[in-house]
Amino acid sequence: MVPKRHYCIPPLSRVDLEELLELVEDMRYFILHAPRQTGKTSTLLALADKLNATGKFRCLYVNFEPGQTAREDVPEAMRVLLGQIAEEAEAVLGDEFVSRTMLDLLAKHGGHGALNVALSRWSRARKEPLVLLIDEIDVLLGDSLISVLRQLRAGYPKRPRGFPHSIILCGVRDPRDYRIFSTSLGKNVTWGSAFNIKAKSLRLGDLTHDEVRSLLGQHTAETGQEFAPGVLDRIWHLTQGQPWLVNALALLACFEDKAGRDRSRPIGLAAVDQAKENLILNRVTHLDQIAIQLGDERVRRVILPMIAGSDDARYTPRDLEYVRDLGLVAATGPVRMANPIYAEVVPRELTLTQQSVLESLISPTWYVRKDGSLNLPKLLESFQGYFRENSESWLERYGHREAGPHLVLQSYLHRVVNGGGRITREYALARRRSDLLIEWPRPGGTLHSNPSKHVVECKVVGDRSGLERVIREGLQQTESYMDLCSAESAHLVVFDMRPEKSWKDRIIVRGPEPGQAPITVWGM
What's the whole-number mean pLDDT along residues 57-74? 96
b (16+ CB within 10 A) / e for 27-43: bbbbbbbbbebbbbbbb
Return the H-helix or E-strand segment holding 453: strand 452-461
- Identify which has the larger pLDDT, 131 or 182: 131
Please provide residue 60's backbone torsions phi and psi, each rounded to the nearest 5 degrees.
-125, 125
Q: What is the pLDDT of residue 195?
A: 67
Q: What is the pLDDT of residue 6?
A: 65
Looking at the DSSP bridge assignments, the partners of residue 22 are none
Whole-number Å distance between alpha carbons of 133 and 227: 38
What's the whole-number mean pLDDT along residues 147-160? 94
Give CA separation, 304 vs 183, 276, 423, 499, in Å. 32, 23, 19, 21
Please tell me the number of Cα atoms within 13 Å of 104 on its side-chain side.
8
Between helix 297-308 and helix 340-350 the angle, nearest 10°, is: 110
3-state secondary structure of 87: helix
Whole-number Å distance between alpha carbons of 255 and 263: 10
Q: Which of 487, 38, 399 shows the shortest CA–CA distance to 242?
A: 38
User: In this structure, are residues 51 and 24 in contact, taking their beta carbons and an 8 Å threshold?
Assistant: yes
Q: Is the pLDDT of residue 341 over 80?
A: yes
Q: What is the pLDDT of residue 210?
A: 96
Q: Is the pLDDT of residue 181 over 70?
A: no
Band of pLDDT at residue 58, cut at 50, 70 and 90: very high
Looking at the DSSP bridge assignments, the partners of residue 187 are 182
DSSP for 311-342? S-----HHHHHHHHHHTSB-SSSSSBBSSHHH
What's the whole-number mean pLDDT along residues 119-123? 97
Q: What is the pLDDT of residue 125?
A: 94
Q: What is the pLDDT of residue 497?
A: 85
Query: Of the ranges 117-121, 399-403, 494-498, which is most confident?
Result: 117-121
3-state secondary structure of 245: helix
Whole-number Å distance between alpha carbons of 416 and 454: 12
b (16+ CB within 10 A) / e for 511-521: eeeeeebebbb
Q: What is the pLDDT of residue 192?
A: 57
Band of pLDDT at residue 365, cut at 50, 70 and 90: confident
Give CA separation, 421 vs 102, 282, 359, in Å. 61, 18, 16
Which amino acid belongs to residue 421? G
Which amino acid belongs to residue 400? H
Please provide residue 186's backbone torsions phi and psi, each rounded to the nearest 5 degrees.
70, 25
| CB count in 10 Å sphere of residue 297 | 9
Q: Is the pLDDT of residue 127 over 60?
A: yes
Q: What is the pLDDT of residue 191?
A: 56
Q: What is the pLDDT of residue 208?
A: 95
Quote the DSSP letter at residue 374: B
Q: What is the pLDDT of residue 175?
A: 60
User: In this structure, are residues 391 and 384 in contact, taking their beta carbons and an 8 Å threshold?
Assistant: no
For residue 371, the Cα-to-chain-centroid distance in whole angstroms is 40
Q: What is the pLDDT of residue 489?
A: 95
> 252: which residues sit within 8 A by CB, 6+ positions away?
260, 274, 275, 278, 279
Whole-number Å distance between alpha carbons of 391 and 408: 8
Give CA separation, 302 vs 236, 298, 312, 428, in Å. 25, 7, 11, 10
Q: Which of 445, 463, 443, 442 shows the shortest CA–CA distance to 453?
A: 442
User: In this structure, are residues 463 and 385 in contact, taking their beta carbons and an 8 Å threshold?
Assistant: no
Q: Is the pLDDT of residue 112 over 90?
A: yes
Q: Is the pLDDT of residue 243 over 60?
A: yes
What's the whole-number mean pLDDT along residues 40-45? 95
What's the whole-number mean pLDDT along residues 57-69? 97
Give CA separation, 256 vs 185, 242, 244, 250, in Å. 51, 20, 16, 9
- Identify which has the larger pLDDT, 73 or 355: 73
Q: Is the pLDDT of residue 121 over 70?
A: yes
User: In this structure, are residues 343 and 51 in contact, taking their beta carbons and an 8 Å threshold?
Assistant: no
Q: Is the pLDDT of residue 462 over 90?
A: no
User: In this structure, are residues 344 and 427 in contact, taking their beta carbons and an 8 Å threshold?
Assistant: no
3-state secondary structure of 93: helix
Q: What is the pLDDT of residue 176?
A: 57
